[in-house]
Amino acid sequence: MPKSQERCQEIREETRNLIIRKSVLYFARNGFAGTKISDLSKHIGIAQGTIYIYFKSKEDLYREIFAISDKIAQNNKLTTLVKLPLPAEKKIRMMSDYVIRNLKEDEMFSAGIALFTQRILEGEADQSFYKTTEKIIRQGQKEGSVVHGNARKLSELYWGVVYLYAVKGLYTSDYAMISSDDLARLLLEDRK
């Protein structure tokens, strides 16, 4: 019965994904210590035991969640963006559009950013994430479109603000989201 074999595999995959998807949000909102398996399983809509079929422990699940948050944060268009033959200002505007749109429409994106940034704060995540943005910033500074200052610091500020609104989005749906322009303005020189 190879057919049912596959189907089984599919179901497994589905449940596993369901758990991860729902957990990302839950952990992003409540943190590791603030998340009880009993609450989480209720939130997912499955039994407590089921989680342990797919993950060895709460920490194992958390680690998985982090791997996901890494992907969400890093597998965005940024890496391709930096290589395009465009002026930095354009890149920054595109990046900001992309980020704001995702913050608005995709809770998983917000959760990913939140978890990822928290880990950076705790010194556990790879800070190379900021590198790509730094490159764009330096390019822009040469082109005269980006404000002066330490590129790393500006990059951190930029993504810090993104984190800020990611967290806001996780807690309330009703809040004044920053505009793409506001976000871009953190890096760009004002035009008079």
Q: In angstroms, what is the minimal distance from the CB of 84 to a second copy?
A: 27
CB-CB neighbours of 138 under 10 Å:
15
CA pair distance 84, 90, nearest whole angstrom: 10
- Print the binding letters for residues 15-44 with a second copy: x by CB under 8 A, - otherwise: ---------------xxxxx----------
SS3 content of the chain, % helix, strand, coil (to 5): 75, 0, 25
Q: In angstroms, what is the minimal distance from the CB of 138 to a second copy?
A: 16
Q: What are phi and psi of 149, to 5 degrees?
A: 130, 165
Answer for which of 156, 166, 180, 184 binds a second copy (CB under 8 A) is: 156
Binding site for DNA (CB under 7 A): 1-3, 7-9, 11-12, 14-15, 35-38, 46-50, 52-54, 56-59
**Which residue lies nearer to DNA by CB, 62 or 129?**
62
CA pair distance 106, 45, nearest whole angstrom: 21
Distances 127 to 93, 118, 122, 130, 172 between C-alpha atoms, Å: 23, 12, 11, 6, 28
* Residue count, binding to a second copy (CB under 8 A): 34
Q: In angstroms, what is the minimal distance from the CB of 93 to DNA?
A: 43
SS3 17: helix
Answer for which of 178, 180, 184, 187 binds a second copy (CB under 8 A) is: 178
**11 touches, from DNA, a second copy, none (C-beta below 5 to 8 Å by class):** DNA
